Each structure stands twice: as structure tokens, then as C-alpha cells.
Amino acid sequence: MTFLSQDRIVRATSDAAKLRLVLVDATRAAQSISAKHEARGYAAQLLGESIASALLLASDLKGQGTVQLRFSLSGDISRVNADATPFGLVRAMIPRDEILGTGSFEPMLMPQTLRVIKLDRHGNRLSEGVVEMVSADVSESMTHYLRQSEQGTYALRVMARYDEAESRLRFAGGVLVEAFPGFVPADWSRVEKFLASLDLGGYVRADGQGLRLGALQERFQAEFPLQVHKEFEIEPFCPCSEESVLRALSSLGREGLESLFLENREAEMFCEFCRKRYTVSVPQILGLLNEAEEKEILGKEAELPGEPGEDAGEPGEEK
């Protein structure tokens, strides 16, 4: 895999102040994902902040797994999805027609709900939390989620900025701080005050490509003694496959597949996340249709009552 060398996650703790710190610079990953979706302006910033948020949340997973972040909105953009692993793999999307519709203009956004789904390494659901978004500001809504659903003491700040002159994101990243049991309230007040006034734009690299996480880490170090435990590189990654596309197509059911088969042409599908194009042939559609018909027949047979004398047995009678 080819990693984006300047993107990384830094995890640290402060034993003295009883807190955990996570820093994320996801600039190049956000630029790559935004380019695939042709996202500009505010839409690119929203993708960048969602990517940073998902990576920050995923840092709390124990072992392998995935965090799925889902923003539901009303207005020009209806939803933003971002998935991330604790080891820096990330993907994100906004519906393509909505991205093309907004262009570089700032869309009208009315916040609805924020959903966070945590999966284990096998894709099994570990937990799901849903809260009402307090505003269209990603940082505010994410902090609200953490305090309501995770029931801990958290502060989060994410930020992304788009450069219209150069038609690219200048930076996308964020900071997450979690207080451990026994933290000093006065220290936490300092953390909240610092994050509330934090302008990540002041930590942009001299080449204008990403954030100076080292300088940001030193800023925290000046307030609280830190010990860095792990660093990970970040890579845009999508696990979509032909198998998953066929599985999605089979969800149309027998009637939907039959209608598609009668058109006698290939079906073209795109992954919402990575925009990869998949072509499903007519024979493949027929195969899915046959499977759907078999399932329908088996389902109807299962609903039929047993014939008298069959080994159903009488109530209370052992077979």
C-alpha cells in the first residue's frame, strides 16, 4: 500500500493531568477523497472535517474494527458518511449529485441526527449511538455526541479549510482530548479553553500542505507533560468489491431484478465512497434473479402448514 507520508495520527497521554490526547492531520487523504468526488468549497471542507472526526473516534477502538460516522442533514446536502479504522484507513462520501449541485457555493444545511456505529474486525456491530445534532458545526455536534453517548469527559475540535484560489483543501485535521478518572477540574477547564480558541490554520505547514502536528503537540506539551505512545499513517481505503456490489444489487428483490433482466443490458454501478465503476453482466443479473426466485419459493414452502401425520408431532409429544 502507498501511504501518504504527511498524514498521520498521534496518540499521547498525560499522567500528571490524567488525560488522553489524539492529534490527526488528514489533509492529503481528504484531498484525495475530495478529488474523487469532485468536491469543492464547503463540500470539501465538510468531507475533511468528517474524515478527521471518524479517525479521532476510531482511535478509541480496542484492537481492529471500524467506526462508521453518519451525519443526516436537510437542505442542499442530505448526508455525509465517513468510515475509519484505528490504524488510519479512512473513506468518506457525500451524494455525488448533491456535491455537483452545490459546486463551490456554501450549501444550506439544517442539522438532523448524528449516528456512530462501531464494528469489530468481522463487521459485527459492537454498539450504535444516535443523538440530535446541536448545530451544523461538526466540532460542536461531535463533542455533544461524545458527552451524551460515550458518557465521558471529552473535548473535540476538527477543522478543514478550502483554498478557492488553488482549488484544494489547505488542511483537514483535528484534536480529541479525553479526561481519565481522577482528572483535575482546573486542568480540564484549561483544556476546554484552549480547544475553544484553537485555530488549526495557525499550524499549517510552510508549503501549505497539511498541519504541523509537531508544533501542535509542543503547544500541548507546554501546558501538560505528554508521553507519545503511537503514531499511524493515514491512507484513503475502500473495501468495496464485485461481491459486495452483487450483494447490494440482490437487495432489489425478485421483481426489481426481473425488471432489470428484461432490459437485456448490463447494469453499471458506482461505489458511493471511492467512485469505482462496476459492470454487472446480463448473465450475472440472471443468476441473481434465479437465486431470488429460489429464496421466494423456499420462503413460501416454509409458511405452509405441515400435513397430518408428518413428523410435526402433537403438542407436548416428543418426536
Least confident among 191-195, 271-275, 295-299: 295-299
- The yes-or-no verdict on residue 253 having pLDDT over 90 is no
Q: What is the 3-state secondary structure (H, E, C) of 265-312?
A: CCEEEECCCCCCEEEECHHHHHHHHHHHHHHHHHHHHHHCCCCCCCCC
How far apart, in whole angstroms, are the C-alpha atoms of residue 56 and residue 52? 6
Name the 3-class secondary structure at 161: strand
How, if at all, do strands 8-14 and 19-25 pair?
antiparallel
The stretch 22-46 carries a mean pLDDT of: 96
Closest by CA position to 224, among listed 165, 258, 183, 261: 183
Write down the pLDDT at residue 306. 59
- Give the tens place of pLDDT for each residue, 185-207: 888 898 888 888 889 999 999 88
Instruction: Determine the CATH number of domain 242-303.
Output: 3.90.1280.10
Write down the pLDDT at residue 85. 97
Phi, psi of 292 (to 5 degrees): -65, -40
Q: How confident is the model at residue 30 (pLDDT cuts 50, 70, 90)?
A: very high
- Give the tens place of pLDDT for each residue, 50-61: 999 999 999 989
The stretch 247-268 carries a mean pLDDT of: 88
Write down the pLDDT at residue 184. 84
Tell me the CA distances in angstroms from 314 to 29, 134, 296, 302, 307, one per residue in order. Answer: 64, 58, 29, 19, 12
Phi, psi of 162 (to 5 degrees): -105, 135
Please give the mean pLDDT across all residues of the chain: 88
Instruction: Determine the CATH number of domain 8-236.
Output: 3.55.30.10
Write down the pLDDT at residue 177. 95
C-alpha cell at 135: 448545530
Global pTM value = 0.84
Q: Per-domain residue ranges for the chain? A: 8-236, 242-303
